[in-house]
Structure 1
Amino acid sequence: MALRRGRRLSKLLLSVTLVFIVGWMLIKHGPVQVSLYDYGYSRLEYSDANHIPQDDSDCSAILQGDMMAIEHAKVLSITSSFLNSTRIPDEHYLELTRDCQRFRSTRKYLEFHLSREEEDFPLAFSLVVHHKVQNFERLLRAIYAPQNFYCIHVDMKAKASVLAAIIAITSCFENVFLASHPVSVVYASWSRVQADINCMSDLYRASPQWKYFINLCGQDFPIKTNLEMVRSLRALAGGNSMESEVMPSGKKSRWKKVHQVVDGKLQRTEQDKAPPPFGIPIFSGGAYIVVNRGFVRAVLEDSKVLALIQWANDTWSPDEFLWATIQRLPGVPGSMRPSPKFDMTDMHAISRLVKWPWHEGEEDSSSAVYPPCHGIYVRSVCVYGAGDLQWMLQQHHLFANKFDTDTDPIAIRCLEEHLRHKALEEIH
């Protein structure tokens, strides 16, 4: 109720301001054409913010693939003085959020929905975070809309400064909240899945209104506006979108043996696991998904899915097969048949755009899936650079992974500026 009152107040203030401006201009200049964008929304553009070091790059040229602009950005991104000037310490967010209204205003959060189409199609997001508060806050700002819902899971191992900063940020929003049951996330273990399931549960209880669930990590970033996401999700017609393929034989060892966490690390034992319950065929996939509300309900309540979840909790990297397998279970809302004809690769799913070194190559390469990474590889995942943006924005995915303000803050700056301008242009 308070959230709806806030929306109505925001729209009323905007209308009063616009009427005043129109009246003043009619008295002074006679009949004129007034743009709602010029007088109502232009303040939300990132380009009119106070100058920051990233603005020394030409984002417009970078997005058009101008090699001189991209090379200039690359030089800046390896210059220690530039990188130091762009970093925001965790403690700074405690100061920024002392006055929440000022924080939301100066950071240019969208505090009102931009279209009826978006208002009528709210989304739910989980964000699993353990460090890099600056990355997290810029991601939240980029995807924030008042009709959506956001569950933030902070790893229980996160530094105190990280937790304090994220608590301070989330406290400034009614529709952004911390996961009620955080866990300590261990790499490749069940805990990574549990973090998402805990947020699924919180979001499911938070509102019956949202239509789709999207899970994120702190180093994701959108490559579509909220309106574009809504339209992509409507086009799914109730379906889900995620990587889901026949399991390669080399990966079957991940769930053929029991794994357990020892001294904070997941280790394989020599104990054989029982076969999957109900003879369920196991599929290969990824950790990130775009699923309808019914899929989430199945994860939380369906007896067959719950049996699969219980069986999978002592395997290696279960997030890379659990969602893909549930997606092929008959009866799960939005699922596909288990036949290989319905396999979906990560390039065809809309959930996440990721570059792997073994799939990159030049344009004339017959085996390359995408052009080389313009950033750096960390654990075999491309951390994008500014030179990746032009290609990236041509793809159909909703999000891309990974971005890092400590590695290339220009890539994020140009992307967020482009998306905000596009979102505001969409209201015309």
Structure 2
Amino acid sequence: MMLLKRGRLLLLLKLTVVLGSVWMFSLLIRPKTGWDPTYIFRYGWLEYTDADGGPEKVCNCSAILQGEREALLQAKLLTITKAFRKSVHIPDEYYINATQDCRIFKLSRKYLLFPLSQEEEDFPLAYSMVVHHKVQNFERLLRAIYAPQNIYCIHVDKKAAASVLSAIKAITSCFPNVFMVSKAVSVVYSAWPRVQADLNCMADLYNASTKWKYFINLCGQDFPLKTNLEIVRALRSLKGGNSLESEKLPGEKRWRVTVAHEIVDGKIQLTGKVKQPPPFNLPILSGNAYIVVNRGYIHSVLKDNRILALIEWAKDTYSPDEFLWATIQRIPGVPGSTRPSPKYDITDINAIARMVKWQWHEGSQGSLEAAYPECQGSHVRAICVYGAGDLQWMLEQHHLFANKFDTDTDPIAVYCLERYLREKALAELH
């Protein structure tokens, strides 16, 4: 009997080596509730190592993050090599197959399956993620921001390829706190459906949990610049306030809200019809689609009659995502709002929600006119698709997230950023 027990024990030990012994023992001894700091020494299995990386591991991320010229040049040469870019691409079918065994998928991808601190566990967040392609980008973003105490609503464009929808559904099925939006829409950018996608997730998130403190919306090509703990601390420091771009609407954009628009064959067009003024004489402010707002703000979006009237009024405007949230932020009585006075205007640089490098605001390092240094990657619709050379500067900023990243264009930028964030998250435990 003793030999039999010893044999079973040896078999169990071999199994834990194969599956990651630290992970197995942590699960066996971890209490069902609460956070135990004695886990710290068991977190080695969560580190990203060269063994986890694909072809990107040939790069020296430490040197890249320090801005060393030789390392940046090597990264630049690799990203313009078709063979290298092809080698790092992961097809949608991989995720469909890999998630057949969710436990192995989460283990192999090193998802954080328990809170890293009591502080984070006590401050859950809600995320809306609007995606239409590039599953690999989405999965790496989800992994970077995933924590079991948070909640995630995923909206996949109804026009997305079948493989994209299937892969993302497969990924979300592996997590109890990640779900597909209850009602997906066919997104038309610069038109109302882009806002409706977030609204649908807002409602689902609000109804799904009463615990989360702040709402953050993302798209599939965003990536965090901060760890979850840093995000939590940044949000706690807002003391119930919101952080989003909200400033005077430029004169050259007035036509967006004074003339009605409609969607024809999947594109937004002018109708020539002059719109009525906004309800309740609300001043229309300028902003962008991405926001960091408290739960009370979301409650107002869903329930406040003034905002519901504004939403109806905005449905035939051009690019309503670039003024709706900014306008709501200045409505008296909305939790975390500020007064409509220009004294309270906030630019995208001052808000913490999102760092975006617009081509026309870039300039040389010594330029006094430029808002930020030149893009080290490429441009899509005048927005910088970040390269490895942007990382050092980017990590010095106060923003929680940045847009845009693309593993098909510069996988090294994402690879080095995700390794940096995981290393920092684990270092915060000591």
1:14 to 6, 26, 33: 26
Report if the CA contact (8 A) 1:193-1:318 is conserved.
yes
Q: How big is the shift at 1:15?
A: 7.6
**What is the deviation of 1:365?**
1.1
2:328 is the alignment partner of 1:326: yes
| 2:66 counterpart residue number | 64
> Residue 293 of structure 2: SS of its match in structure 1?
strand
Per the alignment, residue 137 of structure 1 pairs with 139
Name 1:271's counterpart in structure 2.
273
1:379 aligned residue (374, 378, 381): 381
CA RMSD of aligned residues (A): 1.6
Is the Cα–Cα contact under 8 Å of residues 188 and 317 in structure 1 kept in the other structure?
yes
Given that residues 365 and 374 in structure 2 are in contact (C-alpha distance below 8 angstroms), is that contact kept between their aligned partners in structure 1? no
Distance 2:385 2:23 in 1: 39
Which residue is 2:418 aligned to?
A: 416
Q: Which whole-Å deviations, capped at 9, do the CAs of 1:216-248 have from their partners, x for residues lacking one?
A: 000000000000000000000000000000010
- Whole-Å separation in 2 of the counterparts to 1:17 and 1:424: 20
Displacement after TM superposition at 1:177 (Å): 0.1
| Map 1:79-94 → 2, pairs under 5 A | 79-94=81-96
Measure how far apart 1:162 and its partner are.
Answer: 0.2
Of 359-368 and 239-248, the range deviating more from structure 2: 359-368
Residues in 2 aligned to 1:104 and 1:222: alpha-carbon distance in whole angstroms: 20
Q: Which residue of 2 aligns with 1:294?
A: 296
CA-CA distance at 1:50 after TM superposition = 3.5
Contact 1:277 1:308 in 2 (8 A): yes
Residue 49 of structure 1 corresponds to 51
How many angstroms apart in 2 are the aligned matches of 1:206 and 1:187?
27
User: Cα deviations across residues 119-152 of structure 1 (Å, max 9, x unaligned)?
Assistant: 0000000000000000000000000000000000
The question of whether the paired residues in 2 share the 8 Å contact of 1:327 and 1:335 is answered with yes
Length, aligned pairs only: 403
SS of match in other structure, 2:163: helix
Shift in Å at residue 52 of structure 1? 1.3
Q: Distance in 1 between matches of 2:27 and 2:283?
A: 57
Alpha-carbon deviation of 1:13? 3.9
Unaligned runs of 5+ in 1: 1-9, 19-34
Query: What is the distance in 2 between the residues matched to 1:358 and 1:399?
Result: 21
Task: Please give the alpha-carbon distance, in whole angstroms, between the structure 2 residues aligned to 1:200 and 1:424.
Answer: 31
C-alpha contact 2:50 2:57 (8 A) present in aligned 1: no
Asked if 1:230 corresponds to 2:232, the answer is yes
* Residue of structure 2 equivalent to 1:31: none
Partner-residue secondary structure (3-state), 1:54:
helix
How many Å apart are 1:393 and its aligned residue?
Answer: 0.3
> What amino acid is the match of 2:262?
Q
Residue 379 of structure 2 aligns to a residue whose secondary structure is strand
The whole-number CA distance in structure 2 between the counterparts of 1:228 and 1:130 is: 28
Listed one character per residue, the Cα deviations across residues 156-211 of structure 1 (whole Å, up to 9, x for unaligned) are 00000000000000000000000001000012100000000000000001100000
Q: Which whole-Å CA distance do the structure 2 matches of 1:36 and 1:71 have between them?
A: 40
Q: Which amino acid aligns with 2:342?
A: P
> Any gaps of 5 or more consecutive residues in structure 2?
1-21, 31-37
Q: What SS does the corresponding residue of 2:226 show, helix, strand or coil?
A: coil
Amino acid at match of 2:133: H
CA–CA distance in structure 2, aligned partners of residues 220 and 211 of structure 1: 21
Match of 1:392 in 2: 394
Whether 2:250 is the aligned partner of 1:248: answer: yes
Aligned 1:103-118 pairs, distance under 5 A: 103-118=105-120
- CA offsets per residue over residues 7-32 of structure 1, 9 Å max, x none? xxx999428679xxxxxxxxxxxxxx
Contact 1:227 1:423 in 2 (8 A): yes
Query: Which of 94, 97, 100 does residue 98 from structure 1 map onto?
Result: 100
Question: Is the Cα contact below 8 Å between 1:11 and 1:112 reproduced in 2?
Answer: no
Q: CA deviation at 1:363?
A: 2.4
Q: How does 1:119-138 map to 2 (within 5 A)?
A: 119-138=121-140
**Counterpart in 2 of 1:154?**
156
State whether residues 376 and 387 of structure 2, in contact with CA within 8 Å, keep that contact through their aligned partners in structure 1: yes
Matches within 5 A, 1:147-186: 147-186=149-188
Measured after TM superposition, the shift of residue 404 of structure 1 is: 0.1
Identical counterparts, % of pairs: 65
Map of 1:191 onto structure 2: 193
The answer as to whether partners of 1:70 and 1:387 remain within 8 angstroms in 2 is yes
User: Structure 1 residues 95, 278: CA separation in 2 closer, same or farther (over 3 Å shift)?
Assistant: same
SS state at 1:163 partner: helix
Q: Deviation per CA, 1:336-378, whole angstroms, max 9, x where unpaired? A: 0000000000000000000011111112211011110000010
Instruction: Classify 1:275/1:51 alpha carbon distance in 2 versus 1 (closer, same or farther; 3 Å).
Output: closer
- Whether the aligned pair in 2 keeps the contact of 1:121 and 1:230 (CA below 8 Å) is yes
4+ long deviations beyond 2 Å: 10-13, 15-18, 48-51
